[in-house]
């Protein structure tokens, strides 16, 4: 069976703008005209094609991006939002109602954890956090009212890999939807092809790759996307987290270089991870055979795109981590900043930043040290020199 290639799938989506420009046109209209009154009525009911109602529902720029995202994921449809959290929260809220239950990974992004642990309970929805790499634990957590199993393909920040196919079996048995956040590993994994019902992204990260906007995406079958934007009860339609046309067009252009960028991110990350390992450091990288989920990742990943650009090293204490990151920034290695997928290397102490919403007892249960430094490795063309500088810092600070 031929393996799915998301890069080729994106390239198959080719449409000329009305002006016949090679780049997509930006349509910044908030509202759109109809030739007949009945056409407007039919569009309100979702019974037309090629017509646009209002930019909170669809607009041509967002629609063009969605077609390419759906091709990349192998889904029937997609919808784009003004942030990754908007994508995550809309997808979750569309699947549950008062009295329902969610089983979620305890190693999710901090904002997702906060939404699930602190916010969604306002709507009478219960959440059980488990280690989703432990399939028996997931099974045991499911209840008759479980409607969603939520996980990340590659967890933030511990880089554990979910077994999507097995989680889908559990979800089907429970009558639940499997929602997978693939932000860390676009193209490397195709979660929908592996069995996820719904795939969500923060496009702020690798997909856009420039850290010049915030955006999100939801990829799924046409029925689910249509339900999201239903004018009467669609979560995305009624909450209104629409992505701006200018940003949608910009992201679409960046999407066509994603496969090249993922290859370089992966190449550089592998180089650093192997060097750190040779130094005897406590390093986590999915491309290393020593990684606990290395075999599972190889079974699920697409060819050609590597193991990703994310590395974690454990320096033991937050004090050591901060001193190390400050020195790296001062030496020009990259930036002490949250987020990921940028062309420069970004590093942060996850337990004190992007995962700070996760209670300390959960962090300990997850195995997250307060000295864990998460690297989003950039597109450096001189990664050998980058490593030499990092190596010097490690020696200066008596880390090695």
Please tell me the predicted confidence (pLDDT) of residue 351: 56
pLDDT tens for 67-87 read 999 999 999 999 999 999 999
The residue ranges of every structural domain in the chain are: 6-255, 259-396
Kindly list the strands in the beta sheet with 310-314, ordered across the sheet, starting from the edge strand earlier in the chain. Answer: 283-284, 310-314, 372-376, 345-349, 334-336
What span, in angstroms and rounded, lies between the C-alpha atoms of 379 and 382?
Answer: 9
Please tell me the predicted confidence (pLDDT) of residue 140: 98
Please tell me the predicted confidence (pLDDT) of residue 22: 81
* Structure tokens given for 294: 């290395």
Domain 6-255, classified CATH 3.40.640.10, yes or no: yes
Pick one of 3.30.70.260, 3.90.1150.10, 3.40.50.410, 3.40.50.2300 as the CATH number of 259-396: 3.90.1150.10
> Residue 320: how many CA atoms within 13 Å on its side-chain side?
17
Instruction: Report whether 373 contacts 394 (CB < 8 A).
Output: no
Please tell me the predicted confidence (pLDDT) of residue 376: 97
What span, in angstroms and rounded, lies between the C-alpha atoms of 334 and 387?
Answer: 12
Q: Which of 162, 395, 102 is nearest to 292 (CA)?
A: 162
Please tell me the predicted confidence (pLDDT) of residue 365: 65
pLDDT below 50 — which residues of the chain?
Answer: 1
DSSP 42-108: HHHTT--SS---BTTT--HHHHHHHHHHHHHHT-SEEEEESSHHHHHHHHHHHH--TT-EEEEETTS
DSSP 37-48: HHHHHHHHTT--
Please tell me the predicted confidence (pLDDT) of residue 353: 54
């Amino acid at each position: 069976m031929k393996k799915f290639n998301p890069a080729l799938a994106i390239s198959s989506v080719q449409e000329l703008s009305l002006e016949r420009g090679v780049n997509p046109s930006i349509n910044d209209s908030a509202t759109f005209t109809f030739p007949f009154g009945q056409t407007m009525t039919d569009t309100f009911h979702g019974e037309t094609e090629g017509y646009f109602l209002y930019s909170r529902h669809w607009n041509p720029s967002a629609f063009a991006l969605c077609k390419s995202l759906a091709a990349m994921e192998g889904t029937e449809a997609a919808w784009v939002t003004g942030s990754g959290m908007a994508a995550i929260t809309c997808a979750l809220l569309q699947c549950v109602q008062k009295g329902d239950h969610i089983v979620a990974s305890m190693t999710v992004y901090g904002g997702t954890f906060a939404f699930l642990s602190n916010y969604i309970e306002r709507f009478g929805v219960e959440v059980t956090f488990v280690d989703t790499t432990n399939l028996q634990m997931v099974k045991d957590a499911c209840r008759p009212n479980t409607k969603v199993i939520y996980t990340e393909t590659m967890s933030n920040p511990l880089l554990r890999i979910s077994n999507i196919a097995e989680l889908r079996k559990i979800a089907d048995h429970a009558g639940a939807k499997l929602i997978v956040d693939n932000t860390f590993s676009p193209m490397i994994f195709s979660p929908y092809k592996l069995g996820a019902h719904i795939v969500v992204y923060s496009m702020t990260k690798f997909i856009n790759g420039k850290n010049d906007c915030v955006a999100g995406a939801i990829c799924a079958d046409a029925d689910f996307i249509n339900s999201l934007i239903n004018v009467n009860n669609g979560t995305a339609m009624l909450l209104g987290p629409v992505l701006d046309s200018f940003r949608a067009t910009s992201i679409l252009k960046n999407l066509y270089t994603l496969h090249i960028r993922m290859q370089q991110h992966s190449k550089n990350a592998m180089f650093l991870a192997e060097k750190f390992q040779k130094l005897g450091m406590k390093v986590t990288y999915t491309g290393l055979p020593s990684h606990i989920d290395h075999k599972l990742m190889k079974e699920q990943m697409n060819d050609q795109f590597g193991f990703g650009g994310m590395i974690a090293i454990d320096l033991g204490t937050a004090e050591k981590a901060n001193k190390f990151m400050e020195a790296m920034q001062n030496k020009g290695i990259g930036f002490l900043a949250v987020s990921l997928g940028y062309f420069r290397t970004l590093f942060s102490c996850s337990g004190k930043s992007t995962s700070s919403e996760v209670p300390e007892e959960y962090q300990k249960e997850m195995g997250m040290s307060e000295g864990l430094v998460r690297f989003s490795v950039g597109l450096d063309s001189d990664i050998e020199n980058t490593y030499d500088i990092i190596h010097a810092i490690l020696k200066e600070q008596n880390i090695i």
